[in-house]
């Protein structure tokens, strides 16, 4: 007799977002700094942000909401340049993803289930 595996099913759902938030207004202000020397590019990005309907974005990078002199990821320059390397971005994203996975496991465990996040 062949025993079939149980059907996969969703036992719990949890939301985990990075704690940092960047509002639409902050995004426009940052774009203004980044594209200060490219008025046409800034105008396009501003229109895009304002028309998106997205009021806030969650991010793993805390620097977006910080004054220039308090930045720890981006350079302390007006236009955020030079940009961080791909390796630096990947390392920051990985550590944040691991923290979010921990929050998901905690939320699912709080619902009385064992979490599998692989």
* Residue 24: HSE in the Cβ half-sphere, 13 Å Cα cutoff: 10
pLDDT digits (tens, 9 = 90+) for 16-73: 788 889 999 999 999 999 999 999 999 999 999 999 999 999 988 888 888 999 998 8
Residue 100 has pLDDT above 60, yes or no: yes
> Is residue 4 one of the residues assigned to a domain?
no
> Is residue 116 one of the residues assigned to a domain?
no
71 lies in which domain range?
20-110
> Is residue 76 one of the residues assigned to a domain?
yes
Q: How far apart (Å, rounded) are the C-alpha atoms in residues 94 and 86? A: 12
Please state the pTM of the whole predicted model.
0.69
Q: Tell me the backbone φ, ψ of residue 15, rounded to 5 degrees.
A: -105, 135
> Is residue 46 one of the residues assigned to a domain?
yes
> Is residue 9 one of the residues assigned to a domain?
no
> Is residue 10 one of the residues assigned to a domain?
no
> Is residue 117 one of the residues assigned to a domain?
no
> Is residue 34 one of the residues assigned to a domain?
yes
Residue 118 has pLDDT above 70, yes or no: no
Are 78 and 59 in contact by the 8 Å Cβ rule? The answer is no
Tally the domains of the chain: 1
Which residue shows structure tokens 């025993």?
3
């Amino acid at each position: 007799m062949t025993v079939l595996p149980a059907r996969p099913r969703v036992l719990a759902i949890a939301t985990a977002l990075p704690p940092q938030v960047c509002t639409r207004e902050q995004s426009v202000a940052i774009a203004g700094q980044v594209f200060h020397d490219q008025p046409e590019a800034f105008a396009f990005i501003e229109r895009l942000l304002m028309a998106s309907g997205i009021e806030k974005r969650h991010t793993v990078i805390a620097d977006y909401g910080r004054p220039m002199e308090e930045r720890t990821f981006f350079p302390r320059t007006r236009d955020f340049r030079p940009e961080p390397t791909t390796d630096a971005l990947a390392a920051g994203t990985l550590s944040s993803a691991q923290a979010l996975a921990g929050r998901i496991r905690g939320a699912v465990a709080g619902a009385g289930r064992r979490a599998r996040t692989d």
